[in-house]
Amino acid sequence: MSHSRSEALARLFSESRQALRRYVRRFVRSQETAEEIVQEAFLRTYEQGDRVATPRAFLFSAARNLALDVRRHRLVQKTDSVADFDALDVVASSPSPEGGLLADEQSRLLKAAVERLPPQCRAAFTLRVFDACSYKEIAQRLGISPKTVENHIARALRETHQYMRQRYQLK
């Protein structure tokens, strides 16, 4: 990479850092995570060197993609935690009958929440949560795009969490 190119990237870094951090923070809602993503985006832009015609556009695109990856990862973690309701096995590990009743109630409420979802949304959510399919696999099975799968999963999470909160009066 040429010296003038390095200077241009250093200038881009100093001029864009705050705006980029604010942009990324909208996706990840964490200052610390946003800062990590900004650092990684700058590193990727620097590594691309002269292959990048418009470094600023590449920088913001890389940051957006990294932020969306973080969001997807968090979504998967939430999905996995919802899927673990049945795996909690509170009945076996709980010394009290109340624990067993609570586990049964949670399981019943989760199933009721999932049953309320629109058919394709429910199918995508079920394949993700109970069959551990990737978004790509779900898209292929249902004949829809991975982005549509992502939207269905996000909607399912939102609606099932809302349903559970309403039933437990957690606000």
* Class of the domain covering 97-168: mainly alpha
pLDDT score recorded for residue 107: 72
pLDDT score recorded for residue 163: 83
Give dist(CA 11, CA 5) in Å, integer: 10
- Residue by residue, pLDDT tens for the chain (171 residues) are 567 777 887 888 889 999 999 999 988 888 899 999 999 999 888 888 778 888 888 888 889 888 888 887 777 665 555 544 544 444 444 445 555 555 666 677 778 888 889 989 988 988 887 778 888 989 998 899 999 999 998 998 888 888 877 876 644
pLDDT score recorded for residue 93: 46
Answer whether 0.85 is exceeded by the pTM: no
pLDDT score recorded for residue 13: 85
pLDDT score recorded for residue 145: 92
Say if residues 135 and 75 touch (Cβ distance below 8 Å): no
Q: What is the per-residue DSSP string for 77-108? A: HHHHHHHTTGGG-HHHH-SSHHHHHHHHHHHH
Q: C-alpha dihedral over 145, 30, 164, 102, to 10 degrees?
A: 120
Residue ranges, comma separated, of all CATH 1.10.10.10 domains in the chain are 97-168
pLDDT score recorded for residue 89: 44
Give dist(CA 59, CA 163) in Å, integer: 39
Task: Determine whether 63 is exposed, middle or buried from the number of CB atoms within 10 Å of its CB (0-12, 13-18, 19+).
Answer: buried
pLDDT score recorded for residue 155: 92
